[in-house]
Structure formats: structure tokens, C-alpha cells
Amino acid sequence: MSKSSIYIGLGFFVFGIYELSRGRVEEMIMYSLVGLAFVFTWWSTRPGLEPKNKRMLTIISWVLILAAGFTFLFLVRTDIGRSWND
């Protein structure tokens, strides 16, 4: 991945902090997981990593991606009755 993916990850963190300021903890968790997944994916593509470390970082990034996906599905399921004006 290119260097821009770390900026995308940091952008998700900033948006997560914004969601936390609005009192939406669940959304903050989801955006933080996505941001961490971007950062770990970028980190795993760095040159000079040992294969053992690269494999562990890749596993962690996939776990974060799956956790973000499940969190998204949970939010879609529980936000059906919420108003957009919250």
C-alpha cells in the first residue's frame, strides 16, 4: 500500500473522535477499528520486515477488518429505529 493509506487511517481516527464528541461511542469504535486496519495494513507492507512479523501484522489487520465489518453490521441492525437528527 502507498503512504496515503496511513493518512486514510488517521482520517478515520479523526472522524472517530468527532463521533465520540457527538456521543456515539459505537460509531467511534467502528471508525477506530477501520483506522487501525489501514495503519496495520500499511505497516505490514513496509520493506525490511521479517516474514514472521509481516505475517503477524497481516493477521492482525484481517482481524481488525473483520471486527470492523461485524461492528458495521451490528450498527446497521441496531440503528434501524434511530432518527438521523440524533
Query: What residue segments make up the domains of the chain, in order of their start?
Result: 4-78
pTM of the model: 0.81
What sign does the dihedral 75-81-82-85 (CA atoms) show? positive
Please give the Cα distance from 42 to 11 (Å, whole number).
14
Please give the Cα distance from 56 to 4 (Å, whole number).
22
> Which pLDDT tens digit goes with each residue over 16-74?
999 999 988 889 999 999 999 999 998 888 888 888 889 999 999 999 999 999 999 98
